[in-house]
């Protein structure tokens, strides 16, 4: 399960409570209907979590925990601390060595019917029951920093490539030439999520946020609000080191190549009651999670107070809001919460989030091949790249959101291999959707695509294969309806429509 957190704040227009999912870039106030752009993308943003436990109950809980241990003690001083944690999320794209498996028969697209209307509800109920049943499992996994698959589950659907092609024949079995390297590689994607302590608390262990992360509500960091309640513990782990630590992973042997898209690192200040007690003639500390009210440590050394007292330095950045309207004509921009590219349906201009601003992006529109009826246009980044080993002149990377990332990867590879020749249309055009990948994501995806095209022998860590992008252009490509899928007229590849988000 992919556990996104909820951010709780107030609407800057009307002041009503405003909750949104972590990672949203565009939201709408449920009260005044204002459309808002969430600023601060690609910055280290800080949040905090409010304590649920007051001082009296904290002291009572600590005494109870010690009593259960059969220890007599006396409370000296209770104090609330906000301990910083890093949270790292992202989308991992992996090429793995394929395990030998039976070849998949071609799939008849007529089997793909649109999701029934209750599908979303089923999913919600499923998630809710998973959540209640497996909270502890989730906690344990997050504690260990395990990752979740990113593509949303749709086990009822076939998992093979959705394209019309001849059955793949395994020539090896017949003693003929070996299959190409490409066939020995498998695409895999997963959602990366890690929460780990951002300060040095020697003797306490690396207590993780994991156990409760899925039920946490984040509030925007405000120094004065935290200081009025307790002490803010200083961060000692730099964000660079945090990224390194968060990305480090015992890769299974079969991972050949990896790129991380949409990487987000944030800081979360979590409340703990630290109760100084005298137990058996010695001063010790009891740590209580001020949200779950659980005693997480009942016999910690008093020396930790020194680490907890380390002052917090520097100012913390938080998300901001600005109206989500077209900077050119003032029209409300249509959006999906995860969009970072917006297109005005009034003046047809394109915009991309950059810091706290919307900066213009130009785009081109491809004319459909002669005689082809166009059903829908989808946005792509077309990258001109230079690198070792003669990469294709142009890479074609989807900029739209789609539930099955493998199909986006396949489409990128097939278009980049095909190097389609097309003409740019000059006819009036109104973009019909936004995009969720920027040119930086496209460059990562291009490197990933190129690694896949070169095959298993050529795969090296990304830093060993520098890859320069000379230019990136946003281009809308025409697609045609074919049954329940959209078909790319240049490669013939089809994308089932029910997997569009
Ligand atoms: Zn409002
Ligand atoms: Zn406009």
The rounded distance, in Å, linking the Cα atoms of 399 and 401 is 7
Residues 6+ apart with CB under 8 A from 92: 147, 150, 189, 190, 191, 192, 258, 259, 260
Say what the pLDDT of residue 461 is. Answer: 63
Distance 439 CA to ligand 2 centre (A): 22
- Segment holding 64, helix H or strand E: helix 55-68
How buried is 74 (Cβ within 10 angstroms: 0-12 exposed, 13-18 middle, 19+ buried)? exposed
pLDDT of residue 390: 79
Q: What spacing in Å lies between the alpha carbon of 247 and ligand 1's midpoint?
A: 38
- Please give the sequence-ordered ranges of beta strands (E in DSSP) within 157-209, or none if there are none: 185-197
**Using alpha carbons only, what angle is made at residue 268 by residues 266 and 270, rounded to the nearest 5 degrees?**
165
**Maximum separation of any 2 CA atoms in the chain, in Å:** 89
List the domain boundaries for the chain. Answer: 325-499
362 C-alpha vs ligand 2 centroid, how far in Å?
Answer: 13
Question: Alpha-carbon torsion 76, 78, 82, 86, what sign?
Answer: positive
- Partnered with residue 257 across adjacent β-strands are 95
Cα–Cα separations (whole angstroms), residue 54 to 87, 289, 394: 26, 11, 60
Q: Which residue reads 């002041």 in tokens?
A: 15
Q: Would you state the pLDDT for residue 213?
A: 57
Q: Rounded to the nearest whole angstrom, what is the distance from the C-alpha of residue 427 to the centroid of ligand 2?
A: 18
Q: What is the pLDDT of residues 463-482, one digit of tens each?
A: 556 678 889 999 999 999 99
Query: Ligand 1 center to residue 16 CA distance, Å?
Result: 6
Question: Residue 117's CB: how many other CB atoms inside 10 A?
Answer: 7
CA gap 59, 50 in Å, rounded: 18
Distance, CA 7 to ligand 1 centroid (Å)?
A: 15
Cα-to-centroid distance, 426 and ligand 2 (Å): 19
pLDDT of residue 308: 92
Q: How far is the CA of 52 from the centre of ligand 1 (A)?
A: 27
- The residue behind tokens 């209750």 is 118
The pLDDT score that the predictor gives to residue 48 is: 95
Q: Residue 344 CA: which ligand is closest? A: 2
Going from the Cα of 26 to the center of ligand 1, the distance in angstroms, rounded, reads: 14
Q: Which two tokens stand for residue 394?
A: 């142009």
The Å distance, Cα 394 to ligand 2 centre, comes to 30
Residues in the chain with pLDDT values less than 70:
1-3, 100-183, 202-214, 249-253, 314, 456-466
Closest-approaching ligand to the CA atom of 334 = 2
């Amino acid at each position: 399960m992919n556990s996104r957190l909820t951010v709780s704040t107030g609407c800057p227009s009307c002041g009503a409570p405003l909750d949104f999912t972590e990672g949203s870039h565009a939201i709408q106030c449920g009260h005044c209907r204002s459309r808002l752009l969430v600023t601060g993308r690609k910055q280290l943003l800080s949040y905090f979590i409010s304590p649920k436990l007051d001082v009296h109950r904290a002291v009572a809980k600590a005494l109870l925990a010690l009593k259960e241990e059969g220890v007599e003690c006396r409370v000296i001083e209770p104090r609330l601390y906000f301990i910083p944690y890093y949270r790292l999320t992202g989308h991992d794209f992996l090429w793995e060595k394929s395990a030998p498996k039976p070849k998949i028969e071609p799939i008849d697209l007529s089997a793909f019917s649109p999701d029934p209307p209750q599908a979303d509800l089923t999913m919600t109920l499923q998630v809710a029951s998973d959540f209640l049943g497996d909270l502890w499992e989730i906690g344990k996994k997050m504690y260990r920093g395990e990752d979740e698959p990113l593509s949303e589950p749709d086990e009822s659907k076939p998992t093979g490539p959705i394209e019309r092609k001849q059955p793949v024949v395994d020539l090896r079995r017949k003693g003929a030439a070996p299959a190409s390297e490409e066939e020995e590689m498998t695409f895999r994607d997963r959602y990366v999520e890690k929460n780990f302590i951002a300060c040095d608390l020697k003797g306490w262990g690396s207590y993780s946020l994991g156990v409760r992360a899925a039920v946490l509500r984040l509030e925007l960091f405000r120094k004065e609000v935290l200081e009025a309640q307790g002490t803010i513990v200083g961060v000692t782990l730099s964000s660079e080191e945090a990224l390194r630590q968060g990305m480090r992973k015992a890769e299974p042997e079969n991972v050949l190549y990896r790129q991380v898209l949409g990487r987000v690192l944030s800081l979360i200040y979590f409340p703990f009651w630290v109760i100084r007690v005298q137990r058996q003639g010695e001063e010790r500390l009891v740590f209580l999670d001020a949200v779950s009210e659980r005693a997480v440590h009942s016999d910690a050394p008093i020396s930790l107070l020194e680490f907890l007292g380390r002052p917090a330095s520097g100012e913390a950045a938080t998300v901001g809001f600005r109206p989500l309207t077209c900077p050119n004509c003032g029209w409300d921009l249509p959006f999906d919460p995860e969009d970072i590219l917006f297109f005005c349906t009034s003046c047809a201009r394109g915009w991309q989030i950059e810091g706290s601003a919307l900066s213009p992006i130009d785009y081109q529109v491809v004319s459909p091949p002669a005689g082809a009826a166009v059903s829908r246009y989808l946005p792509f980044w077309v990258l001109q790249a230079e690198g070792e080993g003669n990469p294709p002149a142009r890479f074609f990377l989807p900029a739209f959101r789609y539930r099955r990332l493998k199909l986006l990867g396949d489409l990128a590879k097939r278009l980049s291999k095909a190097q389609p020749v097309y003409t740019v249309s000059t006819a009036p055009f109104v973009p019909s959707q936004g995009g969720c990948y920027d040119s930086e994501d496209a460059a990562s995806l291009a490197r990933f695509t190129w690694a896949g095209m070169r095959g298993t022998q050529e795969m090296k860590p990304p830093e060993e294969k520098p890859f320069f992008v000379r230019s990136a252009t946003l281009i809308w490509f025409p697609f045609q309806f074919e049954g329940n899928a959209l078909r790319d007229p240049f490669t013939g590849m089809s994308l089932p429509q029910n997997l569009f988000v």
